Amino acid sequence: MLPDDQVHPDTHVTTMVNNVIGMVNYVIAARSSLLNFVIADNSDAPPPAAAAAISSADQLSAALLAVALSGAGIDASLLSFSRLGMTAEGNALRARLTGVDEIPLRAALSTRQVVVLPGGQGASRDGSLMMLGRNSSDLSAVAAATAVDAAQCEIFSGLPGIYTADPRLVPSARPVPRVCYDTAAEIARSGAKILHEQAIRLAARHGLRIVCRGRPPAADSMTVVAESGQWQPMVIANTRGSVWAFTDRAGVRAARDRLAADGIDSIGHERHLIAESGAAERAVQRTCGVQGALTGLRLLSVLAVEGQPAARHLVPADELIRAARDEHQQLYPGHEIGNKAAEGERARRSPLSRVMFESSAPAATGSPTRVILVDHGGDPGDPACGPGATARL
């Protein structure tokens, strides 16, 4: 049960337009409690039951947003996971999105100004709930946008766009106004807390612009992810990835294959494997602990040359932030000015993340001009799909 002060979110609704799909991520406090309960206390719970428990926070957020919009006089409807038209397969906690049927989304948009969806969810072929893993609200937002031919997908989160480093760790980090798909995918793969890598690849295949914004009042600051970008060197400090050491590269490859089969992303670096465990911590330990040993290292990636893969370094965990700042200082000598993004993120958050929407222009009738994800908190082929088709991801 949520405390009384978390039942009603602080709601900010500015200019709202017709034909908008709004996708909402979870209530921070609620999901944190659920994750702790499932992972720490019941780590061996069956994935379908664990997925049902954890997803309830996303469903609650979506329902609260729909209620808030209706209270503001906006005709909004709510779609549950079984009505999204998004299909997935694999582990119920970290399934792979396999397709999006545009028909349910278009039908809902034909009768409502705004359609609210819970992020990061889909359904198996038999109709069971499937969660899509870490950062998957980004993925499902982009998938919905491509399914209905939206002009762009806007993602509101705790930072106003993409920076040359995480400004919470490197105060001198610079905002990057525009990033190409390939660069965005590389920094996501390296462990940056920006976008889901598959979401970027899917957007690239459809030529969909992704606009990463801060939450109001910082929503005017943004980064556009599109076909072309403005190159700037970047430093990515992976604070969440555990680093495992193996005796040889064959052991790394075998562990990566087993993790991938379980829906867990990882990075191989020489005789080391980096896996962002989170909710999959026990699964990572079971897989990597067979032949590998957990280290106290962290991954630091540096994108210094346009068009080249990131240079990767392993550093002691307690030296990661200093190393990131040193690398950034080498790329941008003399640039030591702090930024408001870091200051704002360090400020104490409300127990319940705020629900916010903003749009700058009226929408034309027909297809939605925007799909908007409010984030409260990372490739198969894909043929073009025409009317009534199902997008295969």
Q: How many residues does the chain have?
A: 393
DSSP result, 273-332: EEEE-GGGHHHHHHHHTTT-EE-SEEEEEEE-STTSPPEEEEEEGGGHHHHHHHHHHHHS
Determine the average pLDDT of the residues in 124-138.
Answer: 87
Does position 28 have pLDDT exceeding 60, yes or no? no
CA atoms within 13 Å, Cβ hemisphere of 82: 5
* Low-confidence winner among 181-195, 243-257, 368-382 (lowest mean pLDDT): 368-382
Does position 39 have pLDDT exceeding 50, yes or no? yes
Instruction: Tell whether pTM > 0.85.
Output: no
* Low-confidence winner among 178-182, 234-238, 262-266, 369-373 (lowest mean pLDDT): 369-373
Does position 382 have pLDDT exceeding 50, yes or no? no
**Dihedral sign (CA 27, 71, 348, 23):** positive
Top-confidence residue, 173 or 354: 173
Top-confidence residue, 327 or 132: 327
**Dihedral sign (CA 140, 93, 57, 49):** positive
Which pLDDT tens digit goes with each residue over 275-302?
976 667 888 999 999 999 999 999 999 9
Which pLDDT tens digit goes with each residue over 181-204?
999 999 999 988 788 899 999 999
Determine the average pLDDT of the residues in 28-39.
Answer: 55
CB 132 within 8 A of CB 122: yes
Give dist(CA 361, CA 338) in Å, integer.
33
pLDDT band at 318, cuts 50/70/90? very high
CB 17 within 8 A of CB 362: yes
Does position 339 have pLDDT exceeding 90, yes or no? no
Determine the average pLDDT of the residues in 201-224.
Answer: 87
Give dist(CA 263, CA 312) in Å, integer.
23
pLDDT band at 332, cuts 50/70/90? very high
